[in-house]
Structure 1
Amino acid sequence: MAVQQDVIVIGGGTIGLSAAYHASCRRDTQGKNYSVTLVDQYDLDNGNNSSKGYERMYRVLYAPKERARLVESAYAMWHEMESYTGNQILAEHPMLFFGFPNSGTFEGKLQDIADTMDNLGIPYDRLNSPNEISNAFPMFNPDGMPPNYVGLRQNMGATILVQPSFKAFEGLARDNGVNFITNSKAMSIKPGAGGPPYTVTLDDGTQIEAQFLILAPGIWLNDTLKYFGLQAASSWSIRTMTLGYYNTAPTYRNALPVWYEFGSADNGLYYGFQPTGQGPSNVVSQYPYAVKVSADFTHNTTNNVATALMTPPNQDILNAITQRLGSLFQPNTFSSDIALAGSEDACNYSMNGDGDMVLGRIPMGPGSTSYWKNASLFCMASGRGFKFTPLWGRVLTDLAIDGVTSYQNDIEPFSPSRKDVFQNA
């Protein structure tokens, strides 16, 4: 006999945890909190999902207006989480975007971002040359930049501390009575006629029946979508990104911003963080001021999950990161010439063909605007979903339980019904 729950969440990454927490805050018509179960095939703290690691970038610098509005809402919600738990989640410091003004990237173009900030009245400083960038942030070497580089400096930047944020959402969800089933895979999802009840069968034979379903499956999206007759379109891919930690020298370590370089779109996109004391334990125990630096391009792309999970950090990209740091920064910024031993890592991004996230109700077919009732989905986060974590959890809950969210207009660009997101399974 199936275990009865109000809500079941598949996927225990950051978005799934947030959704489980928000769903557990909802109440039925009798005023009773919804019963919620979250299922993940691994432990919550595992090295396989895209939510792993220690730092993520928070910033309001976006070219699409709706995205800037959404991330401002997420910013307030991050601070609510800090207030609820009494723990720091955002390490706030200035943000620097810099590079070619019209370099096209998944992040948008610098000029378009500046136009959006102007339109929304969000303050920032424009830096019109490499010398102005270096004057604002003296650790950057103006001679290491092309002469037409410009920059945007914005004070509403932060490093999201991944592990404290995980603990916050997990702790609040447990306090609300969420049932966690880990190291157990959902072997089947059986919808009712057009929707609920949804019966999920686990690998040990346990069945859970719920009126509301939330999917946050990460790179395993096809394992869940097939039960709805869908799979990712052929343009979907998993991109294995490479990163390392570099030790900072005392001169500039306290003044480093969170930064992103808009160089050439194919191999000139890099980003880094300020020291936060976060990182692999074997690294930060010896180098507490080490910082994560990553390339935002890859040489390793696949649509096979097993292949992605086995792909190591790319040594050519690690060499490129080291070379770029050597020219982009003043000589006394870093005390390590190469990535610290044991800090090299890879992270898998689930990417839709257009490079954007997928968030909404589950369509009845590819491109369909008819949807499965009481079910919502987040996938293909494209390495850009973490900053929205508290907001996306609320939105997924809204969509599953109410069928609509107050953020409906602003999330429309992420619609699962848009072209070339899914194909028939």
Structure 2
Amino acid sequence: MMKLKLFSLGVAVVYPFHLINAFQPFQSHLVAKNANPHRLPSDLEFQIHGHDYEKDGSQAIVFEVPVRQEGIKMYIANDGKLQNHKPGNGGMRMMSYESQKHAIEDAVRLAEGMTRKHALYNTGFSGAKLVVNHGDVDLDDVDRSGLMADCASALQRLGGCVWTGCDINTNDEDMQILSSYTPYVLAGLDSTVDTNKATAMSVIGSIMGILQAHDEQIEDNTFLVQGCGKVGSHVAQELVRLGAKDVKTCDIEAERALIPGCFPLKNGQEWFHQQVDFLVPCANSFAINEQVLQEMKPPRFIVGATNQPYASVEVRASFDEKGSFHVPESISSAGAILADSVEWTHPDLFRGGASSSQVYGWIRDLSRDKANQLCNYAGNDAKAVLQATEEVYADSSNDPIGQTFPDWILENTVLTDCVIVGGGMAGTAAAYANSKAGIKTLLVEQGDSLAPKTASSNGDSRMYRQMYSNPFFSQMQTKALDMWKVLEEECGEQLLHQNGLLFYGEDTKETVEGSVQGARNTMKELGLPHEYFTSGNAIFERFPALKTRDTPYSGVYEETAGHVRASAACAAMAKFATQLGLCKMLTNCEVTDIRCSDEKDHLVTIVLKDGLSVIAKSLILAPGAWTNHILQRHFDMILDLDIWRIHWAHYEIDACVDVPQSFFFRKESDCGNDGGLYYFFPATATESCAAFTPNKKIIKVGVDFKTTESVDVPRSMNDFEYDTMPEVLQLMDDFVSEHLDGNPKRVEALVSPYTMTKDSYFIMDTLPQHPNVALFSGGSGRAFKFAPLIGDCLSRLARGDTDFLLEDMTCFSMRRVAAGLKMNQSKSMITVSTGNAINDAGGIAPVLAR
């Protein structure tokens, strides 16, 4: 029979097993999770040899667990007597200690710290900690499976009086093994909750509480995240997302500090030589020592995830004297145990009924409120923090804090008619249309603004024109132009500027932009006014800024064409929608969960990263280049979409040169990556740019072809690169020099994503099995000019109104062959298409022009 050696920190004693077995397991739904655990190995039934350890003033008891692997020791420290109605809870860490005494001391210290965390929030637990001293055994040589079985045997013997989870050098895989033997594991294993993110959210919440108490904004403060491991990396990412003024990062493993939007310290830079508002320690204990005290300019605040960041009470007191306000880690680093409280009290809700973002949001709010209370009690005086901490302990007579989670969800849930995901052209147009139809709407955009620079709808200009190779799109533009005029009248702002458009160049076949001859034929067929040029000389006579003399070019010109002020148009549609009082728009809001009801009402629930839940009658997806990310993650389907890296640039040119808005067609090169399609926007279409030198102006130049080989075309934004390609910039420079006088000079170059379908048609449809979920994607760089019309179509699709302004919507079906819809059934992607799908052989011509 196995025995646990128990060490009371007053007098060493061995508990007889008949007393240990007298403790009854905690009766909760969690036990049922693993009612029939695997049988533990029979060779665990052996005696162990313990040793004595004494320390005055502590209530903790320590058990030494029998471990079969030589050189490994395991200790379970529980802060106080064992009890199943308020069990001990703390993670299992694995480290190499100087001695067994040091390991036991660490276990006790951490268990006592856990008690403070649990008590501050009243999680329903007392403090415990499991410590494994692997000594001289390399971590890679630890028999983790056997170790977990050894640990499970002890937890089973303790009958639910101690629960554990991950900590340093243990992971989810370890906990999976452990939970196969015993139910007394709280590690978010059967949920989407990441306990590291949970801890990070409690750090973020405490920072928010501090800022709230001081009436400050995060964008006015600087931060140093010391330690960028499993917790610190999430803290740094969230600080960037929330708009912190400056986030420095450091880690003993330098590559872990390379977090987008942060400023990693360079080799030789000491973290304690940095001057910041917030020091955010997320590394091992005791890092803030005498050297740091002497050399670091005291930060205003110290808020982090590290348990016991100070090397001594004297160092802590000195920082207090210097005015560094420290939020105790029992407040700021409590995220994991708060998650445990939910898992313990509401296991079904934790494992599937709620989103992980809701758990994180609840944790963030609890930590924010607790830190704010601390500041108020302390009067923002660093020296008063220890005393003030005593005032913010939760009332232990109340129910465990995890019981409040369902109420928090209800309080953070809003109802609306329609949710729109994506704040670019299609999203803002849909919001505009919804508001005109009297539909209450919430629009969420993950970027820091509507039409953010990282997406496809940002900028000064997009072409509008009726000059297409396909009459369908010419007629579609005619309808859209009428709607643009209404929008301009409603918002009192000019959004369309008529400056004409020239198609010119070689006699190519139909391209993604159509062709000169195809556009001329459509203009003639529809009786639309235009000019046709039969030679390069004729083009030069009309547009002397273009170097077309003695070239075999032809051209067609539409005087009524022009450009749309892209970003301004998105802003105008959004402003109109919100001014009617029916639409609210949120930026910096990432959607983390989408759930569609199977009931007759077909209600849709989305959850945002901050935990806010939105329940709506319908959903409009306008995520642009992020379409497949949304579809695959939340609807188990994907589309055959490519994401092109479209290069464009601003060129400075002599002010006397009037460059027309134009599109040039050249036969695609047989070698290299010159797709042959280039465009100019005149200086009147670059309103946000100013020339760098006198007597100059700025024009916009771009390419309209795929700038990477087919095998390298990104399929998701995870693979997208915003860096420009030198060879493409050289093609643009050569083109500009070849076609323009006026000493053109490139002053800026950028890359934007275009979401492309295989046939260059949009996708504008409802999702299979979800008639109230509409999708727009695959704009293929030509959708903006139709914005009000697209918005109207999406609004009608989502609410089941078939009275479309377009007579035929089948060409935009996501079920057509070229859309490449695949749905995941039984883990294999099933291709879905309809018999009347548009293809190259029939229906509308597959190659269009912008």
Q: TM-score, normalised by structure 2?
A: 0.45
Aligned to 1:137: 543
Matched AA of 1:43: D
5+ residue gaps, structure 2: 1-409, 669-673, 825-850
Change (3 A) 1:373 1:304: closer
Deviation at 1:280, TM superposition (A): 5.1
CA distance in 2, matches of 1:109, 1:119: 15
Q: For 1:235-384, list aligned pairs within 5 A.
A: 236-253=641-658, 256-265=659-668, 266-276=674-684, 278=686, 281=689, 289-300=697-708, 301-308=713-720, 310-329=721-740, 331=741, 334-336=742-744, 338-340=745-747, 343-364=748-769, 372-384=770-782
Q: Which amino acid aligns with 2:556?
A: L
Taking a change above 3 Å as real, the CA distance of residues 76 and 280 of structure 1, as seen in their structure-2 partners, is same
Structure with the largest fraction of helix:
2
2:735 partner amino acid:
R
Q: In structure 2, what is the Cα distance between the partners aligned to 1:144 and 1:239?
A: 34
Q: Secondary structure at the match of 1:115?
A: helix
3-state SS of 1:142 partner? coil
Higher relative contact order (CA 8 A, sep 6+): 1
In the superposition, relative to structure 1, how do residues 126 and 137 fare at CA in structure 2: closer, same or farther (>3 Å)? Answer: same
Q: Distance in 2 between matches of 1:402 and 1:230?
A: 22
2:799 and 2:693 map into 1 onto residues whose CA distance is 45
Residue 354 of structure 1 deviates from its aligned partner by: 1.9
1:56 and 1:401 mapped to 2: Cα distance? Answer: 29
Residue-by-residue CA offset, 1:113-153 (whole Å, 9 max, x unaligned): 222212211111111111111112111122474x2x21001
SS in 2 for 1:289: strand
Q: Secondary structure at the match of 1:264?
A: coil
Other-structure match for 2:635: 228
Who is 1:67 aligned against? 473
Q: Match for 1:200: what amino acid?
A: I
Give 1:22's aligned residue: 433
Please state how far the C-alpha of 1:283 moved relative to its aligned partner: 5.4
Q: CA deviation at 1:198?
A: 0.8
Establish whether residue 85 from structure 1 lines up as the match of residue 491 from structure 2: yes
1:8 equivalent in structure 2: 419
2 CA distance for matches of 1:25 and 1:18? 11
Change (3 A) 1:10 1:284: farther
CA distance in 1, matches of 2:732, 2:609: 42
Q: Alpha-carbon deviation of 1:297?
A: 1.7
Separation in 1, partners of 2:500, 2:755: 28
- The answer for the alignment partner of 1:167 in structure 2 is 571
1:299 is displaced (CA, Å) by 2.2
Residues 243-295 of structure 1: per-residue CA shift (max 9 Å, x gap): 11112323332xx3210011124521100111126355575797873011001
Q: What is the CA deviation profile of residues 372-413 of structure 1, one whole-angstrom value per residue up to 9, with x for unaligned ones?
A: 222211001111111111111111111112342423434332
Q: Secondary structure at the match of 1:248?
A: strand
Alignment of 1:101-112 (within 5 A): 101-112=507-518
Taking the aligned partners of 2:701 and 2:767, their CA distance within structure 1 comes to: 36
- The DSSP-based 3-state class of the residue aligned with 1:327 is helix
Deviates more, 1:122-131 or 1:411-420: 411-420
Counterpart contact for 1:103–1:110, Cα < 8 Å: no
Cα distance in 2 for partners of 1:335, 1:176 equals 49
Which residue, out of 134, 148, 157, partners 2:561? 157
2-side partners of 1:393 and 1:244: how far apart?
29
What letter matches 1:298 in structure 2?
K
Distance 2:433 2:620 in 1: 11
Preserved CA contact (<8 Å) 1:373 1:403: no
Q: Judge which range, 314-323 or 7-16, deviates more.
A: 314-323
Match of 1:368 in 2: none
Relative to structure 1, is the Cα distance of residues 180 and 144 closer, same or farther in structure 2, using a 3 angstrom cutoff?
Answer: farther
Q: Secondary structure, in 3 states, of the residue corresponding to 2:809?
A: helix
Which residue does the alignment assign to 1:409? 807
User: What is the letter of the counterpart of residue 230 of structure 1?
Assistant: M
**Residues 193-221 of structure 1, C-alpha deviation per residue, up to 9 Å, x if partnerless?**
28721111111222111111111011111
Cα–Cα, structure 1 residues 311 and 76, in superposed 2: closer, same or farther, change >3 Å? same
Instruction: Tell me: CA distance 1:282–1:406, structure 2 relative to 1, closer, same or farther (3 Å).
Output: same
Q: Give the match's secondary structure for 1:276.
A: helix
- Cα deviation digits, residues 45-103 of structure 1 (max 9, x gap): 42211112221111111112111111111112222222122222112111100122343
Consecutive unaligned residues in structure 1, runs of 5 or more: 27-32, 365-371
Contact map agreement 1:21 1:176 (CA 8 A) in 2: no
In 2, the alpha carbon distance for the partners of 1:283 and 1:171 equals: 30
CA contact (8 A) 1:4 1:209 kept: yes
For residues 488 and 719 of structure 2, the distance between their equivalents in structure 1, rounded to whole angstroms, comes to: 37
**What pairs with 1:46-57 in structure 2 (closer than 5 Å)?**
46-57=452-463
Relative to structure 1, the CA distance from residue 102 to residue 40 in structure 2 (aligned partners, 3 Å threshold; closer, same or farther) is same
Give the CA RMSD over aligned residues: 2.1
Q: For 1:413 and 1:313, locate their aligned partners in 2 and report how far apart those are by CA, in whole Å.
A: 34
Q: Which amino acid aligns with 2:743?
A: S
CA contact (8 A) 2:686 2:700 kept: no
Considering fraction of residues, name the structure with more strand: 1
**How many residue pairs end up in the alignment?**
399
Secondary structure of 1:5's partner?
A: strand
Identity of aligned residues (%): 27
- 1:399 equivalent in structure 2: 797
8 Å CA contact 2:629, 2:716 repeated in 1? no
1:96 alignment partner, SS class:
strand
In the alignment, what sits opposite 2:84? none
